[in-house]
Structure 1
Amino acid sequence: MQTAISKVSTARLRRAIELAVGPLLLFGIWWLAARGGWVNKDLLPSPVDTLRDTAAAIWSGSMTKDFWHTMVRVAYSIAIAIVAGVPVGIVLGAKAAVYRSVEFIVDFFRSTPATAMFPLFLLLFGLGDLAKIAVAAFAAWLVIVFNVAYGVMNARQTRILAARSMGASSLRIFRDVIFFETLPQTFIGLRTAVSLALVVIIVAEMFIGATDGMGHRIIDAQISYSLTDMYGSILIAGAMGYGLNLILLFIERSIVHWSGK
């Protein structure tokens, strides 16, 4: 019993060390670059100063407010993309002829940089939050549609044929077989869509009349030459994306536990 517990503890310690290597490596390279003068000291503050000022900004609540404004915008855009994208992806994937007829449109806009769509969405929705959320939702929607359609089209035919041979109706086959077969690919699309939506929202907050959010904070700190705040805001924005990806991975592993089996 103690041997088993010891093995589990050793595995957890090894995993913790593996996870700590990346952040420590980043901190070490940053510290050496700042300390050794690899980069102009006026352009690269030390990581210690940056983390200290970032912690102070979080404690004061100023950065927390910007964090949540960005998070809310991302959440709205992803919710819209899921509600509008999953049904469309299912319809397109269910009939290959239907997908082929609109494949050019989907791939064209999916390949178009979302930032190139800013002027169009500004004309349609103005300078408020609606334009930022709409362009991010559109970019995420295309990714979700493509991945859901791909998942439906590539569902394992052996399981579908087995269900059909047992007399299951088309609706039952979709509900009990195809839907679950598409979930792994759907989650891949969802993780990609969340990352893309975050990027679009951050960029939109920088350049489309925002008064809050992490993007606005980054560009405002750059203009005012508050470098520790700028680097700290970039770190927090990166941590936001990393955290959202971890949450989705956890949900995926909890729900799609049969993936690959």
Structure 2
Amino acid sequence: MSSDLAWPPAGLRELALRPDRRRWSLPRGGRRGLVVVALLGVWQLASSVGWLSAQTLPSPVSTVATAAAMVQTSELDTAMLTSLRRVAVGLGLGVPSGLVLALVAALSRVGEDIVDSPMQMLRTLPFLGITPLLILWFGIGDAPKIALVFLGVCFPVYVNTFVGIRNVDARLAEAARTFGARRWLLMRSVLLPGALPNILVGLRLALGIAWLALIVGEQISSDGGIGSVMLRAQDNLRTDRIVVCLLVYALLGLLSDLVVRALERSLLTWRHAFDGGRR
């Protein structure tokens, strides 16, 4: 056999024998934090040199001072607790409802015919179009805000769970039936574990949409919460307070996403997926 057909090629043999010289790099958490610090630095610099006026966008230092003043008067933490309670109730109702409806639709063709068409129609309705009707039905209290969060959460969980179950390899289901698995055992041991990555994607999307739905609800019918604080700041032309409220929403959304990432790491240890390659 010719030497140029030898395996592995000479270049790969030399690379394998070369000592591993890994460069030092920041941990992933450090890189993420560095990006945030850099963005804040650019923001502060633009404010300091006059590229951004205080009325257009206050500086980070001014924003922190405003947030501290709002915390001292208990205005910010009270509003945050109100918004968190509404989101928690909406999630507690919307996530199980989406899962149950997806199971009904995905496990039988009759269930799909009954459930899927109404869900596909309802999920395209915009929040701003539904809100006036919800206010007429439930008033201006917590109920319309919770209903908006419920709707915003239910549909992504439903769609991703339905797709995840239907994408499970049919050969796995047939193998389980061959060994005598009934519908409940099949769902618990094959279908739900196979659909779990999609379910977590749906939960991740649902958490983000939950905060968007709450912003719409709290700003249209002002009755406590962070959205109510933003509405009063708008009436008083207080850009700094609006920015504080937006940052609170952003931080709550980030924390929600981190919770789902932690769930993915703990529940999907069996999955070896592409993680971005080199560090």
1:33 corresponds in structure 2 to 46
Q: Greater helix share, 1 or 2?
A: 1
The Cα shift of 1:133 comes to: 0.4
Give me the whole-angstrom Cα distance separating, in 2, the residues matched to 1:139 and 1:50. 30
Counterpart of 1:231 (choices 232, 236, 243) is: 243
2:151 corresponds in structure 1 to 138
| Alignment of 1:160 onto 2:160 | no
1:118 corresponds in structure 2 to 131
The Cα shift of 1:88 comes to: 0.9
SS at match of 1:112: coil
2:267 corresponds in structure 1 to 255
2:101 corresponds in structure 1 to 88
Within 5 Å, give how 1:6-155 maps onto structure 2: 13-96=26-109, 98-100=111-113, 102-155=115-168
CA change 1:98–1:22 in 2 (3 A) is same
- Larger Cα Rg: Structure 1 or Structure 2? 2
Report runs of 4+ in structure 1 exceeding 6 Å deviation. none
Asked if structure 2 preserves the Cα contact closer than 8 Å seen for 1:152 and 1:182, the reply is: yes
SS at match of 1:173: helix
Aligned-CA RMSD value: 2.1
1:241 corresponds in structure 2 to 253
2:207 corresponds in structure 1 to 194
CA change 1:236–1:159 in 2 (3 A) is same
Structure 1 unaligned residues grouped into runs of 5+:
1-6
| Alignment of 1:173 onto 2:186 | yes
1:3 corresponds in structure 2 to none
The Cα shift of 1:199 comes to: 0.8
* Residues 83-116 of structure 1: per-residue CA shift (max 9 Å, x gap): 2221111010112454255544322222222221
The answer to which of 120-129 and 101-110 deviates more is 101-110
Give me the whole-angstrom Cα distance separating, in 1, the residues matched to 2:57 and 2:188. 55
1:214 corresponds in structure 2 to 226
Identity of aligned residues (%): 26
Give me the whole-angstrom Cα distance separating, in 2, the residues matched to 1:85 and 1:220. 35
- TM-score if structure 1 supplies the norm length? 0.88
| One-letter identity of the residue aligned with 1:144 | V
SS at match of 2:123: helix
The Cα shift of 1:228 comes to: 2.0
Give me the whole-angstrom Cα distance separating, in 1, the residues matched to 2:228 and 2:266. 35
Asked if structure 1 preserves the Cα contact closer than 8 Å seen for 2:222 and 2:231, the reply is: no
